[in-house]
Amino acid sequence: MWLTEHASQRLQQRAIPTAALELLRRYACIQYSNGSRIRYFDRRSWRQLMQAVGTSLKEPERLSGLYAIETETGVIVTAGHRYRRIKRDYQPGRRQARRRSHRSHSLQSRR
């Protein structure tokens, strides 16, 4: 596993073990952003991890908010704990709600 100097500092500062990064690589979902990959656990990948590893993890809730950003070649740039959700782009096959602005809706009702 390749880490930049910045990533190794962040792992140490945020008390993230390198074994957790391996779990991210195996089970986490990927979101592409600005030429890099964001790996994080969503509900589906978290369930897969819990089924595979189960009770052998000491503090699984600490891993649930973990994320890592890596380059296209697989070098990890940084890692941390999420405190905000990751906004996903449109993905084919996923159902998304149709949104209308409040203003356009009020104009249509006047007509």
Name the pTM for this structure.
Answer: 0.69
Ranking 17-21, 47-51, 68-72, 106-110 by mean pLDDT, the lowest is: 106-110
Eight-class DSSP state of 3: B
Query: What is the tens place of the pLDDT at every residue in 56-101?
Result: 777 777 788 899 999 999 999 999 987 776 666 655 555 555 555 5
Q: Which residue has the tokens 């000491």?
A: 58
Query: What is the tens place of the pLDDT at every residue in 6-46?
Result: 999 999 999 998 888 999 999 999 999 888 999 998 889 88
pLDDT of residue 105: 54
pLDDT of residue 103: 57
15 conformational bin, left if phi > 0, alpha if psi -120 to 50, beta if neither: left
